[in-house]
Structure 1
Amino acid sequence: MSNETQQQQVTAIGKPARTRLVIAGAAVAVVAAGAVGIASVNAQRPDPAAQAPIAADVSDADLQQSTHLTLAAATRAAQSALDAAVKANQRVTVAVVDRNGNTIVVLRGDGAGPQSYESAQEKAFTAVSWNAPTSQLTERLKSAPQLADIPGTLFLGGGAPVQAKGGAPIAGIGVAGAPSGDQDEEFARAGVAALG
């Protein structure tokens, strides 16, 4: 066999061998990069034990506690208000909010109008915010009409505050959907009465 033929065979064999080496080298590089990536991600995630919250010894004078209705109590009040409305053949929605105005429960009675859902929540929020029935608050609008501009409020009859012993507001009950605010408020008061 001539030298030229041998060189052609070596060259023919060498090319695939080089290609395999290049591919193998690339695969090793990809695996190594993945391992480095995993290691760097783990390095960025500190030990969970090292993330323990920092405890502060806060004095009682710097703390404030508030009283909230339980879900069971709020549901009982809402159901009592809805039952009073059904007994009067009215289709309403009842909402109960906590001291901060957050909705605890809403019961939409069969056939209640679509506007009643939001209105009930706003009446409940208004009652707890001012710790007064919304029917009384409508009188305040005569001397301070800008109160009606406060977001989330509705100065129509139908909202009643729930008070703890001592008169502090802890919740509000709003009813909407009856033909008059007086009726809505009567049903809201039935909800308050159910709480004792």
Structure 2
Amino acid sequence: MKKSITLLVSSLFACSAQAITTTETNITMAGALIAAQAAVENCASKGYSVAATVVDASGDTKVTLRADGAGPHTLDASRRKAYTSASARQPTSAMLATSQTNPTAQNLGQIDGFLLLGGGIPIRINNVVVGAIGVGGAPGGPLDDQCAQAGIDKLLAK
């Protein structure tokens, strides 16, 4: 009887732990480095000196790279774009458009840490956001987007 009660209590704790925890899939440092380096190199091939930051699914920085000649502001811009994209699970360029056209979203840019400029794109594996990349320093959000996408494309090709 004592063994049965112990087994029952153990089962309850096991079920309870599963009910109050989650498992999150995140990009690895090696994967983050591939994406960031490819993004910086893609921009460099076009003559742009940028910074690229890759964050995990929670928005915590995994890797930041800054090209020679990239302005100091590009570090913070790339990090905030990556954080914004990971947090909202969507590209920052789409969030910018929404904030400009939807009155209920006009204050999105006021969220602490957010930056609503193009250049932040979520990284999805099997339709699950495992992180995001942010690029800052190209002359315009659409160009930052292109470099960020190049980083993701290189990562997914591995």
Q: Which runs of 4+ in 1 moved over 6 A?
A: none
Counterpart for residue 155 of structure 2: 195
> Cα deviations across residues 45-96 of structure 1 (Å, max 9, x unaligned)?
xxxxxxxxxxx94323332101011111100110010110111110000000
Question: Secondary structure in 2 aligned to 1:89?
Answer: coil
Alignment gaps of 5+ in structure 2: 1-11
Which of the residues 21, 24, 27 maps onto 1:66?
Answer: 24
Aligned match of 1:152 in 113, 116, 133? Answer: 113
| Residue number in structure 1 paired with 2:99 | 141
Q: Which residue of 2 aligns with 1:183?
A: 143
- Tell me the TM-score normalized by structure 2: 0.84
Identity of aligned residues (%): 37
State the structure with bigger RCO (CA 8 A, min sep 6), 1 or 2.
Answer: 2
| AA of the residue aligned to 1:159 | G
| Greater strand fraction, Structure 1 or Structure 2 | 2
Cα distance in 1 for partners of 2:68, 2:13 equals: 52
Q: Which structure's CA Rg is the greater one? A: 1
In structure 2, the partner of 1:162 is: 123
Letter in 1 for 2:58: N
Following the alignment from structure 1 to structure 2, what is the Cα–Cα distance between the partners of residues 156 and 137? Answer: 8
How many equivalent residue pairs?
140
Question: Residue in 1 aligned with 2:8?
Answer: none
Deviation readout 1:68-125 (Å, 9 max, x if unpaired): 1111110011001011011111000000001111000000000001111000000001
Return the alpha-carbon distance in structure 2 between the equivalents of residues 139 and 101 of structure 1.
Answer: 22
Map of 1:94-173 to 2, 5 A cutoff?
94-142=52-100, 143=102, 144-165=105-126, 167-173=127-133
* Secondary structure in structure 2 of the residue aligned to 1:64: coil
Structure 1: segments with no counterpart, 5+ residues: 1-55
The TM-score with structure 1 as length reference comes to 0.69
Structure 1 residues 158-191: Cα deviation after superposition (integer angstroms, max 9, x where no partner): 11100120x2211010000011110001000011
Residue identity in the other structure for 2:50: V
